[in-house]
Structure 1
Amino acid sequence: MKKIITILFIAVFCQLATAQQKAKSNSENFNTFLKKFNEDKNFQLSRVKFPFKIKTIDDNLEDIEVTMTQKNYRILKLDDKGMEFRQKIILKPNKAVIEQRGIDTGIYADYIFELKDNKWFLKTWVDQST
């Protein structure tokens, strides 16, 4: 009886591992997604779930949390074509962070994306630019 349970356990585990690998291989490529996100306004809007919370600073340089609605949202250009900041992409299996750091400017922002149902979505950002 123990052998049957062990064999069933191994079979189920192998099927789950195979399903996870298949789902991973069907996931959208982040760089391809980001290119389209930057170029196509409608695509960008389709990959943002409104409303969402962002963290920023107020006029007194105090941290605040703000709810971003579609009405208040401005189209983002998250490409690294800028002389005033450096951009770095940190990519994990289900999360990506685009860090923008100013070069002799006050730019300091992180844009956080998550992979949901094999598609990338903007989740939030933290902007502590001064």
Structure 2
Amino acid sequence: MKVSLVLITFMCLIISCNKNIETNNSSFNKTIDSLRRELTISNDELKSLKANNDSKIELRYNNENFDAFFWSFMTDSTFQLERIKFPLKYITWEDELGGEIDTIKLIKPEWKYNSFYLNTASERTQIYDNFELNLRTTNERLLHWYGVETGGDSKYYFTGKNGKWYLTKWEQLGD
């Protein structure tokens, strides 16, 4: 009799625990589904948020590897022309060094192939991942070439668009 009573009590306890587990699982699944619905944003809503500029949402693209892109950009003149957004914004001195700065829109026939090869020890190149010269994850890269003793100073601005890198601006304000 005592064994039966213990067995019945044990069975009731197991059934009670099982119901609590099912209830907790059900509640947990409902919470997860609710969060999924809240986190799901349609393309139209995303475009609306982007257009309003009220939101600090940063769109991230899965861009091609920048180093592989840049190697092709340096070594293949046809590829280079394909990956420049023309008309290219070109910023330089209007007449003379230190004078007025001029912004020119370069068109495709005006572009001269640039191999970006550096041949002297007095030149340094740093490729940044954004236009503010900080290192962080963005869809921007900045190749900043400057001559330590030559006074050269060129910046090449690259932007990731639809998974590909493009040269979008060139600034040349050195000697």
TM-score (norm. length: structure 1): 0.79
Q: Which amino acid aligns with 2:64?
A: E
**Matches for 1:74-89 after TM superposition, within 5 Å:** 74-89=112-127
Query: Residue 117 in 1 paired to residue 162 in 2?
Result: yes
Distance 1:121 1:7 in 2: 35
Q: Which amino acid aligns with 2:37?
A: L
Query: Which residue of the other structure, out of 97, 105, 108, is the alignment partner of 2:153?
Result: 108
* Compared CA separation, residues 79 and 90, structure 1 to 2 (3 A): farther
Alpha-carbon RMSD = 2.4
Q: CA deviation at 1:84?
A: 4.0
In our comparison, the structure showing a higher alpha carbon Rg is 2
Q: Helix, strand or coil: the match of 2:108?
A: coil
Which stretch has the larger CA shift, 47-56 or 94-103?
A: 47-56
TM-score (norm. length: structure 2): 0.60
Query: Which residue of the other structure, out of 79, 93, 96, is the alignment partner of 1:43?
Result: 79
Distance 2:86 2:72 in 1: 19
Distance 2:36 2:126 in 1: 46
- Give the number of aligned pairs: 119
Percent identical: 27
Structure 2: tracts of 5 or more residues without a match: 1-30, 47-58, 130-136
Greater helix share, structure number: 2
Which stretch has the larger CA shift, 81-90 or 112-121?
A: 81-90
Q: Which amino acid aligns with 1:77?
A: S
Q: CA deviation at 1:7?
A: 4.9
Q: Helix, strand or coil: the match of 2:109?
A: coil
Q: Helix, strand or coil: the match of 1:51?
A: strand
Structure 1: tracts of 5 or more residues without a match: none
